[in-house]
Structure 1
């Protein structure tokens, strides 16, 4: 049973262009995400999925120089990008992570993949409905479900966001939600604005030197000790971005 993680990334973010290669404690954000996912025991291979637009050459070059698998496909038809990548990097199941999530938790990824496999689900996530802070979203799908979505999804929204066809067709797919063990504050821990990046850099500056794979609980503990840090980005709503 092979499980691959696909990280959806592009440079042309409308709110914070180039954010995926912005440095956080001396490493590009994308590199942190790759390294954190490589700590997940259930993941076999981590692949960055970017577009074939010239604007994303920098991502491809970065991946090549850091020995990170990279696939390039359609900028806007991200569902097709995932499908084509699954042909080059085949697996039984695919974990979708977006490149604006530098706090992705490898332990949480493992737990969600384990539940997905135990349930023999077609699609499993912790964000439909949201159960974790924004930036901790994890979606897992069977490769066969991804292939079905590729052949059937016919709206721009479904094709840009990859998974909506799956979780809106539960008569066709077995969809499972991963519930948080306790109620968690639905904080904004993603990067879509400069203010988000300010918060993430504060978190990394404290926790990363102590543990390069620090988990969500350590982040929540730190924020409980420093509640004013959350003022940095509290004006922004959840899931504002259309595509990372």
Structure 2
């Protein structure tokens, strides 16, 4: 059996109400993210983990309409929710995404998944250090490790971040798929604020029918060609992630984006 993608919806406070239901082109942001998750190499199942309070009912309905498995769980315990989703899905390996990343690149996410095995790591990501545009964030780990984290993570910060215990446990081997850098890490493709929504909607309008399948390289090329688009949410760039001291013990060579001439 292949890996299970768990997309965590409704996670954490946001300046944009019901961000998962914002339309990007003719689909909601959640539907876009779920569709991209289906195309990650090595994945057999996509699950959407949604808090079980009533304010998230419409998000759960949207996930059901996208024909993926939906698991409802405690809103106040994101780690517990993701662990519950993994158990109910019968997962052995988990690829964790969040609904704030509706334009995740399936190839990059597949690279993180492959790195987990290739590096014989306990945990793999593409944010240690963060050298990809913000919004391509992906993590991979075994369901057994997730269950251990659920049992041992005892601080509020660790339970809210879901993988904070894994990222800091000194006994674990962590591997990082390193992004291209060169300034591309300053691009913000997240969906957390009205400015982010304006940026992504402008990108989808510019790309048209190609938006749903556009690669990270194609999106980056558009941002370089049209800097006015990135300016729409430039004030929201999270510089703290760029200077974070967290580093994986295994780092790949920087991934190159194949820009067309």
User: Which of the five TM-score ranges fits, normalised by the shorter chain?
Assistant: over 0.9
Tell me the CA shift for residue 12 of structure 1: 7.7
The whole-number CA distance in structure 2 between the counterparts of 1:182 and 1:22 is 29
Superposition TM-score, scaled by structure 1 size: 0.92
TM-score (normalised: structure 2): 0.86
Summarize the alignment of residues 51-130 of structure 1 with structure 2, pairs less than 5 Å apart.
Answer: 51-130=51-130
Q: Counterparts of 1:29 and 1:144 in 2: how far apart (Å)?
A: 30
Corresponding residue of 2:171: 172
> What SS does the corresponding residue of 2:42 show, helix, strand or coil?
coil
Pairwise CA distance, 1:24: 0.9
Aligned 1:136-215 pairs, distance under 5 A: 136-169=136-169, 171-181=170-180, 183=182, 185-186=184-185, 187-210=187-210, 212-215=212-215
Gaps of 5+ in 1: none
Aligned equivalents of 1:183 and 1:113: distance in 2? Answer: 24
Q: Determine helix, strand or coil for the equivalent of 2:4.
A: strand
Moved more, 40-49 or 203-212: 203-212
Instruction: Tell me the residue number matched to 2:258.
Output: none
- Superposed displacement of residue 13, structure 1: 4.3
- Which residues of structure 2 form unaligned runs of 5+? 241-261
Instruction: For residue 200 of structure 1, report the CA deviation from its aligned partner.
Output: 0.7
Deviates more, 1:199-208 or 1:159-168: 199-208
Alignment partners' CA distance in 2, 1:239 and 1:98: 20
Distance 1:135 1:206 in 2: 19
Distance apart, 1:208 and its partner CA: 4.3
RMSD: 1.8
Shift of 1:223: 0.8
Counterparts of 2:128 and 2:108 in 1: how far apart (Å)? 16
> In structure 1, what is the equivalent of residue 31 of structure 2?
31
- SS of the residue corresponding to residue 70 of structure 1 reads strand
Shift of 1:180: 2.1
| 4+ aligned runs moved over 3 Å, structure 1 | 11-14, 181-184
Query: CA, structure 1 residues 129+12, in 2 after alignment: closer, same or farther (shift >3 Å)?
Result: closer
